[in-house]
A and B are shown apart, each in its own frame.
Chain A
Amino acid sequence: MAASLDAAQGLTSRPPGRPARAARLRLSGLFWRHPWAKALLLLAPPLLAFIFVYLLSLVALFVSSFWTIDPFTSELKHVWNIDNYRQLWQSGAYHSVALRTIGIAAAVTVADAVLAFPLGYFMARVAGGKSRAFVFVAVLLPLWSSYLVRVYIWRLILDDSGVLNWSLRKLGLPAANIGYTNWAVWLIFTYVWLPFMILPVYGALERIPESYLEASRDLGAGAWTTFRRVILPLALPGVVAGSIFTFSLTLGDYVTPLLAGGASSQFIGNVVYDSITTQQTPFAAAFAAVPLAVMGVYLLIARKLGAFEAL
């Protein structure tokens, strides 16, 4: 069998007339004997690119957080100090900015998880082929419309005389007046990041084999128990994977608070952005270390919960 196949595909029985193929076979053999060479070839370009372009610039940025700037010309002065960090620590304003950012990021994550889970379950386990395809497109398409325009339209919707208040008044309800408040910021973030939560949750729910649920029923568990003890733990990595997106995207954003926030809606990103545009790079770098640290911790927890498998 093997010999005839070989002949049919013109493999080992035709050496001299096919030098290119012989060379490829020798190369394959080399990689087979020395798998580390293959690994090196695969990993070196991306890693080198990442290290030199990305990692080094990150390191350089955080090194600059220990320097200062000349007050008039705003040029960087290589004078080592921890004044920037001391200022962050001492001023209450920066504490409230950081807490507000982390708090809203958490609230957005929770809201998105609550909205996405039933939808993901519907898509994965209830919907028929056509409905599933329709829901899938309906969820993905908003990601392709401009983020800026989506934030701007929400600003219009939530305005004092915008669509929301207009509809509420028509229904005889009191006006919501949440335009330019932190409620608006929370709502808008929940809206824009929702598809990022739906996709991994759907993926995780879809991978749960039907046989597990049948087995759970066979063992006498009711629907709620099955949900709590079989579905939820298996879907959790998907939820956590989605939460990495919603949490980190909210943590670092400054556009939504800028466009749609009110007088007390500064996020870490806004302070960093303002500092950069006023040439205070060291201070910006110091404050940027906060979301870096928060995400570092979050990622470690996420890894423990298996989210990386579900990304």
Chain B
Amino acid sequence: MLVAAVAAALCVPAASAGSGNGLPTSIGKGEGQLNLIAWEGYTQPQWVKPFEKATGCQVNAKYAGSSDEMVTLMRQGGGSQYDGVSASGDASLRLIYGHDVAAVNPNLIPDWKNFIPALKGPPHNTVKGVHYGISLQWGPNTLLYNTTKVKPAPNSWSVIYSRKFKGKVTVPDNPIQIADAALYLSKAKPSLKITDPYELNSTQFNAAISLLKQQKPLIKKYWALASDEIDLFKNGGAVVGASWPYQTNTLIAAKVPVKDLIPKEGATGWADTWMMSAHAKHPNCMYKWMAWVSTPKVQAEQAIYFGETPANPKACPIMDKLSKGSAAQYHCGASASYFDSIKFWKTPVAACGNGQNDCMDYTKWQQAWTQLKG
């Protein structure tokens, strides 16, 4: 999905020195502070403290558990409340079209030229050749299960829709979860002809909702906070569910017998971008941050901590040095075909890719999700 757009994106003029497009040509002095909106686990002291020391920019992070929250937070106070946000693909376009984020000059980020081609100027953060952020990391939404309670090891998403684990399943409390149901149906019910889990006409959408309604009695809790899922697996409330690698890593570190995988139907995922607010009060610190988190060492540290894949392939050897085998485990330097197999989050809009205009837009997703939870 991203391969086609790459060529256009790469044609960004390298020299923007005084070219009149308003982008800065160098990073100025740090302003001493940086206010960020981040996913849980994206601003760990491990790489924040060295940054603060090196640049003098004190980092204040506010956590958000969903892209919706991130968009809301970015718009508060006229948009100057926060300097940056680690937006996933389903928030980034909304922020761009809402004029909440500023265009950035990727040439100010030394490591940007090393990024994998697919993430140098992907359509979710680059519009008409203008970059609105620097890609960060990407990863899948995984299937997490308790190895002692779920035997044999599952290999399909059907396990979270199966009555076998009634009352012991957990999935994210996020309307975008409808896409996961659609993804499963695209393989389990081919007659629905679902090609893109984010572009659903009303028949396909209703089928996904009805699957989710059947799933509801199986759900112990819809997790809204990462720690919800951690608590559920640790204390026996849930034995199988949809998750992020962050929870898997935390649980394994706490000696809980869990494993995660990408089932045979594939997985939805997220590709995150650090975007700068259009009214940022500390733009220099923001540029310094974007440059910092793109360096191979920080990319490796974050990838291992959260369990995601760096945009900078130079991080792969460092990952193996920090934690043997982690580069392969988290698909660092993975092939383009693996990258393409992940259905990255994007905002559902009425315009379906095939020229039709009858797909469900995101408002309908949100309403359906609230009504589903009842």
Contact = CB atoms under 8 A, between A and B. Distances in A.
Task: Indicate if A touches B (C-beta under 8 A).
Answer: yes
Chain B interface size range: 35 or more
B206 interface: no
Interface string A31-43: 0000000000000
Interface of A: 69, 71-75, 87, 91-94, 96-97, 155-156, 159-162, 179-180, 258-259, 261-264, 266, 271, 274-280
Contact of B374 (A72, A74, A97): A97
Given A71-B362, A73-B94, A277-B69, A266 B373 contact: yes
Nearest to B224: A258
Nearest to B365: A278
A72 B68 contact: no
A21 to B, nearest CB: 50
B361 A71 contact: yes
21 contacts: A69-B363, A71-B361, A72-B362, A75-B98, A93-B370, A93-B372, A93-B373, A96-B374, A97-B374, A159-B236, A160-B236, A160-B237, A161-B235, A262-B220, A262-B221, A263-B220, A263-B373, A264-B373, A276-B72, A278-B68, A279-B71
B220 A266 contact: no
Nearest to A283: B367
Contacts of A162: 235
B297 to A, nearest CB: 34
Contacts of B66: 277
A159 B374 contact: no
Interface of A is mostly: loop
Given A93-B370, A263-B220, A278-B175, 13 more contacts: A71-B350, A71-B361, A71-B362, A72-B349, A91-B371, A180-B221, A258-B224, A258-B225, A263-B221, A263-B222, A264-B216, A277-B68, A277-B72
A275 B363 CA distance: 10
Nearest to A162: B235
Contact of A159 (B219, B235, B362, B363): B235
A279 B216 CA distance: 26
B340 interface: no
A304 B363 CA distance: 44
Interface string B213-236: 000100111101100100110011
A24 B219 CA distance: 71
A69 B363 CA distance: 10
B366 interface: yes
With most chain B CB atoms within 10 A of its CB, the pick from A72, A162, A278, A279 is A278
